[in-house]
Amino acid sequence: MDQFDYIIVGAGSAGCVLANRLTEDPNNTVLLVEAGGKDRNPLFSIPLLAGVAYWNKRSNWNYMTTPQVHLDGRQIKWPRGKILGGSSTINGMMYMRGNAADYDKWCQTGLTGWAYDDVLPYFRRSECAPERVDDFFHGNDGPLRVKKASGKNPLYADFLASGAAWGAQPNDDFNGAVQEGLGFYDFNTREGRRESSATAFLRPALTRRNLRVMTKTKVNLVRIKDDRATGLSLRRAGQNIEVGARREVILSAGVINSPQLLMLSGIGAGAELTKHGIEVIKDIPNVGRNLQDHLGVYLTYSCRDPVSLYRLFRPDRAAIAFARAYLFGTGPASAVPLEAGGFLKTRKDLDIPDIHITFVPGLNLETSRQGQGQHGYLINFYPLRPESRGSITLASSDPDAAPLIDPNYLSAEADRRCMRDGTRLARQIGETVPLVQRKAKDISPNLDDLANDSSIDAWVQAGANTIFHPVGTCRMGADILSVVDAELKVRGIKALRVVDASIMPSIVGGNTSAPTMMIAEKAADMILGRAALKKAAAI
C-alpha cells in the first residue's frame, strides 16, 4: 500500500490550493485524488464560454436536486466540477469575497480566528491584482490572478447609469472597504483566459517530486481505525486500491461529496447510516445538514438596438471571436458576460446589502441553448443570505450512487419576501432611463406577473434557479453539534479534516469560489502547524 504524509480528496477550488501549499516543504509527501480528468479542453479557457462549460457532461457530476416544493415541484440541475480545478474550471470566474460582516458573524458564534480581520490576510496571500498596487485590501504576489472587467458593451454603461438614477452609489471595488453599490466586477482571468485553482495553484506544483496526482480515481470511503483516519479505499480503472496517510486525510471534495464520503465511511446520523447497512463509526447527526445555496431569477428584455451579445451568434463572427480569445486572449470572447452589477439593499433599514444584482448584455443561457433568436439583455439578482436550509443524504451505500440533494429552496418566508422586494427593485432599474430606452418589450416577467405579491411568488417559483453557490453541509462550529471545529477537524476522529465550502456555517454574501480558496489557504497553515497570518488590523 502506497503511503503519503497527506492525502487530499478532490482537486477543486480548495484541493489545488492545499496541494500547492503542503508541498512547498519538500519533506511532505502529498497525494491528490480527483474523480474527474485533466483540464485540457481549450474551450474551458475562453471566458465567454463559461456558461457552456458549466453544462459539459464530461467535466461535471451532473447532479439533480429532489423535487422542490416551493419551486412548483421542479428538479433543479446542480452542475459541480468533476475535473482538475473542480467548479473553478467551469464557473463564471467572478472574484468575490463576500461582506466583512459575514466572517465577523462566524467569529461571533465562537469561531475564534475566522473574523474578517483574520481571513483578509489569506485572501491577500492568494491574490495577484496588478491593477490594485499598494491597496490595503489586495495582494500583488499571490498565484491567483485577478483582473477588473473593462465593460466595453454599451449596455453596461446604460445599466450603471440607470442604477445611479435609481439611487445606487458607484463602487470601484466590491472586495474593498464597502460592498454596497454598483460597478464593474473583478474576475479570475489571466491575459484574457480563465484562471482556475488548477492553473493558479496546481500547475506550478506539478513539477514537485513530493506531489502525486491521481485523476479519474473514485474514493469509496475513508479508512478509519481506532477513531483515526488511516487512508482511503480507491477505485481506478476498475481496480480497487488502498492508500495510507501517515499524518492526515483531508476531504476537499465539495459540498455534496465531502458529506457523502463521511457518511459512506460511517460518520453521520447513526440511524440513517444503519438504514443503509453502514457500520456507525461516529454518530454526528449534522453531517449533510445545514445546506444553503443562492437562488436567483432573471428579468429578461428584448433590445431595440443590435448591440447585445446576439451579434456574435453569426457563425463567422463567433469563429473570429473565439479564435482571438483562444490564441491571443483578446476580443469579445475574452470577457465574461457578467461584467457589471453590485450589491443593493431592498429595505432602507438594513445594515448591509441583501441582494446581489448582475447585468448581462444578452439573454440567459437557457434561452441561448434553445436558440436565442433576438437581441436582448437581462438583469439577474439573488438574495444574499437565505434562511432556508436543506440537506444532503445518502440514497444508497453504493459510492457510485448520487446522494439525495434537497436545498429546500424558499421554505423560509424571509427568502420569499426578499425575492419579491428584489424583483421590484430590479424592475425599477430596468424601467429607468437610459436602460429603458433600449427596451423593445418585456420577455419575463410581464405586467401580470408583477401585479401583486402572489403573482410575483408564482413567477419566482416557476423560474428561479440555482446560482451555483452551495455551502454548509459539514458545518464548522464551536458547539459540539458541529461537524468540524475551528481547525476544520472532524469531531471525534483524529487525522481527518474537511477543507472546502461545506464547512461554512452560514453562506457568504457573494460568490463562493474565492472564499473557498481562502479557507484552504488558512487551513494549510493549521495543517502544517504554522502560526496564523497577522490580523489585517495589526498590519
Active site residues per annotation = 469
Return d(Cα 107, Cα 536) in angstroms, integer.
15
- Residue 372, sorted as left (phi over 0), alpha (psi -120 to 50) or beta, turns out to be alpha
Return d(Cα 11, Cα 90) in angstroms, integer.
13
Q: How many residues does the chain have?
A: 539
Return d(Cα 474, Cα 480) in angstroms, integer.
13
The one-letter amino acid code at 528 reads L
Q: What is the DSSP letter of 509?
A: S
Return d(Cα 292, Cα 212) in angstroms, integer.
33
Return d(Cα 106, Cα 505) in angstroms, integer.
7
Return d(Cα 369, Cα 55) in angstroms, integer.
11
User: In a 10 Å sphere around its CB, with 0-12 CB exposed, 13-18 middle and 19+ buried, how is residue 237 labelled?
Assistant: exposed
Return d(Cα 444, Cα 441) in angstroms, integer.
9
Q: Is the dihedral of CA 48, 51, 57, 58 positive or negative?
A: positive
Alpha helices in 116-253 (DSSP H): 116-126, 154-166, 197, 203-205
Q: Name which of 450, 430, 448 is nearest 440 in CA terms.
A: 430
Q: Would you list the DSSP string of 14-54?
A: HHHHHHHHHTSSTT--EEEE-SSB-S--GGGG-GGGHHHHT
Q: Residue 111 corresponds to which cell in the numbers above?
A: 469561531
Look-up of cell digits 425599477? 428
Neighbours of 482 (CB within 10 A): 22
Return d(Cα 93, Cα 146) in angstroms, integer.
10
Return d(Cα 337, Cα 328) in angstroms, integer.
18
Q: Residue 340 corresponds to which cell in the numbers above?
A: 457589471
Neighbours of 241 (CB within 10 A): 16
Return d(Cα 383, Cα 316) in angstroms, integer.
39
Q: Name which of 344, 349, 375, 371 is nearest 361 in CA terms.
A: 375
- C-alpha distance from residue 79 to each of 32, 55, 65, 352, 428 (Å): 22, 7, 10, 30, 32
Return d(Cα 301, Cα 35) in angstroms, integer.
40
